[in-house]
Amino acid sequence: MELVIAWRPRVPGIAEVFHAHFVDHAYPPHVHDAWTLLIVDEGAIRFDLDRHHRGAAGTSVTLLPPNVAHDGRAATGHGFRKRVLYLDTTVLPAGLAGAAVDRPGVDDPLLRQRIHQLHLALDAPGDELEAESRLALIRDRLRGHFGRVAAPPAELSKGLAGELRDLLDARTRDGITLQEAGALLQSHPGHLVRSFTATFGLPPHRYLVGRRVEQARRLLLDGRRPADVAAEAGFHDQSHLHRHFVRHVGVTPARYAAQGGVPNRVPSAR
């Protein structure tokens, strides 16, 4: 069965997310005005890129440059299942196009895992900072494969990480994008993520979620309704609160509030 799911996420740099399962469909030669970052979950794909025969399957990651003609079709009669990110040209420089034409596929399990994690984050409304953080690390790794990466500083800046933490503390409810934080702190988003993680032991998006969960706990113990708590603590909706609250606390927000924050209250011995 042919199946297509596509959407435009609220994440700077990602023009479109595209998931598809094709058996008989074959793409005619065409071009995109964005970078195409592709992973194959089932089956295999054959395609011609700039008149060269290529393929995509298994654990490989495929990067197709903008404005270069390519087609696509199933390599077997069983079809294929793929997930694609269309990345703005602001994410990767045009100078990498030649390397991507010469060798569009790379075998990098860590890069593939990060792309998979990014797709999971993009599928969960409210986790845009996580998606943006993962995209920043993916961008740096792609540049390592297809171009040059600027040498990192001799020491990661703890001061920069502290400044980012102050921004997250001040914007716990409303949130902040990595692009905005990078502009304010005059630092690249990828460097922000690495510096913060090295200094505090967790990436910025996990820190922000933890801060929101702490705020939600206080509000729930004040007797607030979970739906109201979700909005006030900065979650996308009640489902978003529920998912992260259970992961952090071990019980649902409603049960936490009903039991005064104690999952299994045991009377003390007298």
Q: pLDDT category, 148, cuts 50, 70, 90?
A: low
* Mean per-residue pLDDT, 116-121: 96
**Whose CA is closest to 158, among 204, 198, 120, 102?**
198
Taking 80 as the threshold, does the pLDDT of residue 268 lie above it? no
Q: What is the pLDDT, as a whole number, of residue 267? A: 45
Taking 70 as the threshold, does the pLDDT of residue 6 lie above it? yes
Taking 60 as the threshold, does the pLDDT of residue 114 lie above it? yes
* Mean per-residue pLDDT, 149-153: 50
* Mean per-residue pLDDT, 140-144: 92
Q: Return the percentage of the chain with pLDDT > 90, whole number.
A: 63
Taking 70 as the threshold, does the pLDDT of residue 254 lie above it? yes
Q: What is the pLDDT, as a whole number, of residue 266? A: 44
Measured from the Cβ of residue 54, the count of other Cβ atoms closer than 10 Å reads 18
* Mean per-residue pLDDT, 9-13: 92
* Mean per-residue pLDDT, 132-136: 94
Q: What is the pLDDT, as a whole number, of residue 149? A: 52
**Whose CA is closest to 106, among 49, 34, 53, 39?**
39
Mean of pLDDT over the chain: 88
Q: pLDDT category, 154, cuts 50, 70, 90?
A: very low
Q: pLDDT category, 158, cuts 50, 70, 90?
A: confident
Q: Return the percentage of the chain with pLDDT > 70, whole number.
A: 92
Taking 80 as the threshold, does the pLDDT of residue 107 lie above it? yes
What are the structural domains of the chain?
A: 3-145 (2.60.120.10), 150-201 (1.10.10), 206-258 (1.10.10.60)
Taking 90 as the threshold, does the pLDDT of residue 21 lie above it? yes
207 near 192, Cβ under 8 Å?
A: no
Chain-centroid distance, C-alpha 175: 16
Task: State which amino acid sits at residue 130.
Answer: E
